[in-house]
Amino acid sequence: MVPLEVRQRHGWDDGTALVFTDGPDGVRVMSADEALAAFRASLPSGPSPVTDLIAERRAEAARESGP
């Protein structure tokens, strides 16, 4: 159980889901929402590989179907 003063400091409600990660600098605790935001921020920005793949497939289909 996380002490009330710690929950209040971080804005966590009593039922907030927490994520614990163990790294080289020690254990980090964050809400599930904070963990999701951190994960999304760690993803490379720019065009999505899926978008690129769809564009390639459409171009290939257009070449195969002819003029």
11-60: pLDDT as tens digits: 999 889 999 999 999 999 999 999 999 998 998 887 788 888 999 999 99
Number of domains the chain contains: 1
Distance CA 55, CA 67 (A): 18
Distance CA 31, CA 49 (A): 29
Question: Quick check: pTM over 0.75?
Answer: no
Class of residue 31 by CB neighbours under 10 A (exposed 0-12, middle 13-18, buried 19+): middle
Domain range for residue 27?
A: 4-65
- Residue 31 and residue 12 in contact, taking contact as beta carbons nearer than 8 Å: yes
Q: In which element (H, E) is residue 28 found?
A: strand 26-31
Residue 66 pLDDT: 75
| CA contacts within 13 A on the Cβ side of 41 | 6
